[in-house]
Structures are given as C-alpha cells and as structure tokens.
C-alpha cells in the first residue's frame, strides 16, 4: 500500500485518475503510466518525444499483436494436441480476427481512454481492436510477458474461447466462398462497382457470379463490406451444397 501511495502522490490529478481506472480494468497496479498513455494516443494528435519520435499507439499495437498471437498459439497447441498446423492457424485467426478484437475493445470500453483530434463518430470501428492490441503492448513493457499472458487469458481466452463453437464460426464469408469454389473447381467472379446514386456517402455494389450465373448482390459503404455482404448471401443461397461438400 505504501508503494501505491507513493506512486499516486507523485502524479497529477489526471494521472491519478488514469492510474485507478487502469488498476480496476487490469486487476494489477501499473508501474509506468507512460506506456499506457502512449497506447491510448491516436496519431491525429501529432505528438512527438524529445528525439522526434511519434507518440501514438501504432508501435505498441504491433507489439501487442505479436504477443497476443504467441499466447493464443501456445494455448491452442496445448488444448488441441491432435490439431494440424492448418487447423491451429485457422482457429487462431478466428480468435484474433479484427472483428473479434474490435468487440473486445468495445466490451472493455477502451475508447474512454483515447486521446484523439478526430471526433469519435468519425473514427473507424477498427480503433477498438487497435487500442486493445496497443494495451497488450503496454502491459508487456510495464509488467512483462507473464502478466500480459495472464491478462489475455482472463480477458480473451476464459470468457470468449470455446473451441467447439469456434470450429463452426465463419469469420469471412468471402474467403469461405472462394475456398469452396476452388475445391469444387467452379469459376467465381466478384464484380464490384461504385453505386452511390444521389447519396452523399459513397456506396459500392457487388455482384457475385459462380460458373457464369449471378447468385447474389451486396451493397455497402466500402468494397470490402459489400463483398462480404454479397458473399454471406451466396453462402445462405448455397448452404446445403456447401455443407454437403465440406
């Protein structure tokens, strides 16, 4: 307790508040707030240290991504001794998918810590996953690998990782459709075009054809989203054929 009291007394009011919020979130006492403050700083702030290096979460995101991958890989290796390399890689991808990491970041409400010059409504959903990975990087630098591994187990593995459910989870409908077409030696085509009409926000439409026949369409505010939406519709249209061949 004396150690914690000394830390708090040496900090500003703002840092003291951050310290206790992090302590409640992490379930341990952070030592060096600098790492966490950097993990929550968006590049739009254009902050630099004395050496001219940028102060933002991007390098910590890179570090956290690597640590998360190693912890999840080790967990799967131990839990599924019969799993092939391909199986383990696919399962790891499902756990650390951008969509899943964004959900984790939202569940932890990490956006409340973010320092940015961009209005929150205009920030991409990917920031939630990016900040989560940056937080892992900060934990590693502050407390070491074992503490980071424990945090990942408590916040990711224990509450979210169910291997049986993950085996049936589809993370990319487009990837699934392409893989199925390749296995079945079918020709596929994603015809993507801009389709904004009178709308101020740019939209894209996608037509998916298999063996020359259009199966489904999708429309969204990005090419990737439109392709995924169309692919999901293809999957449900051909679900029986895909299931029988898998």
Q: Among all residues, which ones are annotated catalytic?
A: 65, 133
For 137, other C-beta atoms within 10 Å of its C-beta total 25
Burial class (CB in 10 A: 0-12, 13-18, 19+), 97: middle
CA distance 69 to 138: 16
Would you give the distance in Å from CA 161 to the centre of its chain? 15
Is 226 within 8 Å of 192 (Cβ atoms)?
yes
Residue with token string 């892992």? 136
Which value, to the nearest 10 degrees, does the dihedral of the CA atoms of residues 40, 42, 46, 51 take?
50
| C-alpha 120: how far from chain center | 18
């Amino acid at each position: 307790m004396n150690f914690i009291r000394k830390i708090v007394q040496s900090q500003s009011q703002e840092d003291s508040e951050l310290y206790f919020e992090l302590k409640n979130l992490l379930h341990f006492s952070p030592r060096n707030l600098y790492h966490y403050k950097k993990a929550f700083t968006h590049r739009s702030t254009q902050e630099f240290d004395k050496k001219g290096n940028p102060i933002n979460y991007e390098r910590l995101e890179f570090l956290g991504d690597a640590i998360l991958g190693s912890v999840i890989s080790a967990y799967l290796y131990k839990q599924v001794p019969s799993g092939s390399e391909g199986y383990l890689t696919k399962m790891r991808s499902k756990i650390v998918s951008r969509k899943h990491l964004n959900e984790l970041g939202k569940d932890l409400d990490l956006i409340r810590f973010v320092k940015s010059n961009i209005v929150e409504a205009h920030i991409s959903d990917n920031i939630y996953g990016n900040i989560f990975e940056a937080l892992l990087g900060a934990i590693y630098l502050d407390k070491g690998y074992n503490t980071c591994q424990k945090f990942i187990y408590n916040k990711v593995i224990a509450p979210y990782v169910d291997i049986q459910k993950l085996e049936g989870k589809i993370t990319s409908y487009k990837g699934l459709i392409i893989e199925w077409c390749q296995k079945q030696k079918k020709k596929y085509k994603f015809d993507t075009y801009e389709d904004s009409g009178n709308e101020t926000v740019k939209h894209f439409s996608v037509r998916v054809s298999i063996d020359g026949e259009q199966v489904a369409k999708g429309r969204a505010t990005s090419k990737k989203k439109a392709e995924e939406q169309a692919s999901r519709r293809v999957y449900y249209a051909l679900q029986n054929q895909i299931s029988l061949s898998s």
